[in-house]
């Protein structure tokens, strides 16, 4: 496969476009938040004993998942940006609440590195957050990675963790997030696949990642790989099967659409030591993620791992940290300890 065109001009970034709403749009957004959210939560709690998506979840997760699904289904990109805030604001709030220093590094290309705990670069994990390239990193995802960091410290392994705050739509367009960016969830998982792709087939002149660079590992949680819901001209069953179970429904995913390249990762072992892809059994992207791993990763990499969390929704482990200070445990949560062990494995031989 031939390489696509390369990019040599720095991205255009206009922060004034973030979360722009008219007066009437702002009023309507607040009505939906104040009236719709409690109604959705109350209805889901009433239905929870009878519907598959909720009957095996603790009440805090039912409330958290229903709230997130409501946002994803009924709010526009600008509304989500206004409600959820910018990555810098979210991170700063989290750091203050966690009694940790606010450490933000401005990049020359408009991106930002936001450190979780003390900065260290000898052993470092870079987190590319999800959000459909529309909304910012969220507090509960930062809490998840802080949990991983603390658990690694208990094992005697000190790892620096930085969040990559990249420019969102419509502040900038592709390939700005890739230019600015390895671990990622959802859209961040897609971004990790872009980083790997760009290392194999450089899109930029000069390459943003020097040739010969070798990553210790790349983890993609519920990667946002194919949002058309189509594979080889046939609909993917999970898009319909899990439409009413996931925290992001089929219509939202199709609206945000994305595709994936075919044999692009043939030399993956040359740039990354190990790869981990996870998905949820109850998420719409399940089949797309499994196909991506089976056809794009597994044939080319001997140290790769795939895990489907039974009953899990999109980015499932994060949502425990939306409603609690740690994993809620039980039979349904097997992914968080796997992530911890996988990250440990990436660094234990360093």
The pLDDT tens digits for 114-169 are 999 988 888 888 888 877 777 888 999 999 999 999 999 999 999 999 888 876 65
pLDDT band at 111 (very low <50, low <70, confident <90, very high): confident
List C-alpha distances in Å: 87 to 36, 40, 56, 91, 327: 25, 27, 32, 6, 23
Instruction: Classify the C-alpha dihedral 169-172-175-179 as positive or negative.
Output: negative
Q: pLDDT per residue over 216-274, tens digit each?
A: 888 888 876 665 565 555 667 787 777 777 877 767 766 655 333 345 677 888 888 99
- Kindly state the tokens that stand for 342: 């996988």
Secondary structure class of 126 (helix, strand, coil): strand
Look at the block and give the residue holding tokens 């390939």. Answer: 175
Average pLDDT taken over every residue of the chain: 80
List C-alpha distances in Å: 288 to 24, 190, 203: 38, 12, 25
Question: Given this model, what pLDDT does residue 6 score?
Answer: 47
pLDDT band at 113 (very low <50, low <70, confident <90, very high): confident
Question: Given this model, what pLDDT does residue 154 score?
Answer: 95
Question: Given this model, what pLDDT does residue 3 score?
Answer: 44
Strand positions, DSSP E, the chain: 104-106, 112-116, 124-128, 160-165, 183-185, 218-221, 230-231, 234-235, 275-280, 304-309
Question: Given this model, what pLDDT does residue 150 score?
Answer: 96
Question: Given this model, what pLDDT does residue 164 score?
Answer: 83
Domain ranges of the chain: 20-84, 86-347
pLDDT score of 170 more than 70: no
Question: Given this model, what pLDDT does residue 258 score?
Answer: 39
Helix axes 316-323, 59-74, angle to 10 degrees: 110
Tell me how far apart the alpha carbons of residues 217 and 196 are, in angstroms, rounded to a whole number. 11
H helices, E strands: number in the chain: 13, 10
270-285 mean pLDDT: 90
Tell me how far apart the alpha carbons of residues 315 and 186 are, in angstroms, rounded to a whole number. 7
86-347 belongs to which CATH class?
Answer: alpha beta
Question: Given this model, what pLDDT does residue 140 score?
Answer: 92
pLDDT, greater one: 282 or 178: 282
The model's pTM: 0.79
pLDDT score of 93 more than 60: yes
Secondary structure class of 73 (helix, strand, coil): helix
Tell me how far apart the alpha carbons of residues 86 and 91 are, in angstroms, rounded to a whole number. 9
Least confident stretch, 91-105, 182-196, 225-239:
182-196
List C-alpha distances in Å: 141 to 16, 151, 293, 323: 26, 16, 23, 11
Q: pLDDT per residue over 8-43, tens digit each?
A: 555 566 677 778 899 999 999 999 999 999 999 999
Question: Given this model, what pLDDT does residue 72 score?
Answer: 86
Question: Given this model, what pLDDT does residue 2 score?
Answer: 42
The residues facing 112 across adjacent strands are 106, 165
Query: Which residues in 218-233 are b (16+ Cβ under 10 Å) and which e?
Result: bbbbbbbbbbebebee
Question: Given this model, what pLDDT does residue 261 score?
Answer: 38
pLDDT score of 323 more than 50: yes
Tell me how far apart the alpha carbons of residues 306 and 231 are, in angstroms, rounded to a whole number. 19
pLDDT score of 189 more than 50: no
Tell me how far apart the alpha carbons of residues 17 and 85 are, in angstroms, rounded to a whole number. 13
């Amino acid at each position: 496969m031939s390489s696509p065109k390369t990019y040599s001009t720095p991205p255009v970034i206009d922060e004034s476009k973030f979360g722009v709403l008219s007066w009437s749009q702002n009023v309507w957004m607040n009505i939906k938040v104040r009236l719709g959210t409690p109604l959705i939560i109350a209805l889901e709690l009433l239905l929870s004993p009878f519907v598959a998506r909720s009957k095996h979840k603790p009440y805090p997760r039912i409330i958290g998942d229903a709230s997130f699904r409501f946002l994803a289904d009924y709010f526009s990109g600008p509304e989500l940006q206004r409600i959820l805030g910018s990555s810098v604001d979210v991170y700063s709030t989290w750091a203050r609440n966690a009694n940790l220093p606010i450490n933000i590094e401005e990049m020359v290309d408009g991106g930002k590195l936001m450190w979780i705990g003390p900065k260290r670069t000898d052993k470092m994990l870079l987190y590319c957050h999800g959000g459909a390239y529309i909304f910012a990193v969220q507090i509960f995802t930062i809490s998840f990675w802080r949990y991983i960091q603390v658990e690694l410290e208990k094992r005697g392994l000190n790892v620096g963790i930085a969040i990559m705050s990249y420019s969102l739509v419509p502040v900038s367009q592709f390939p700005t997030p890739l230019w600015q960016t390895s671990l990622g969830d959802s859209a961040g998982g897609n971004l990790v696949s872009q980083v790997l792709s760009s290392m194999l087939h450089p899109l930029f002149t000069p390459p943003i990642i020097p040739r010969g660079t070798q990553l210790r590992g790349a983890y993609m949680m519920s990667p946002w790989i194919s949002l058309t819901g189509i594979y080889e001209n046939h609909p993917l069953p999970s898009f319909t099967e899990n439409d009413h179970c996931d925290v992001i429904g089929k219509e939202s995913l199709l609206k945000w659409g994305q595709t994936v390249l075919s044999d692009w990762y043939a030399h993956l072992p040359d740039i990354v030591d190990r790869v981990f892809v996870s998905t949820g059994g109850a998420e719409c992207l399940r089949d797309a993620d499994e196909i991506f791993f089976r056809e794009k990763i597994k044939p080319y990499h001997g140290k790769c791992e795939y895990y489907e969390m039974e009953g899990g929704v999109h980015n499932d482990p994060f949502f425990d940290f939306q409603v609690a200070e740690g994993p809620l445990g039980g039979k349904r949560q097997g992914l968080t300890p796997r992530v911890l062990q996988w990250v440990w494995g990436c660094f234990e031989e360093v």
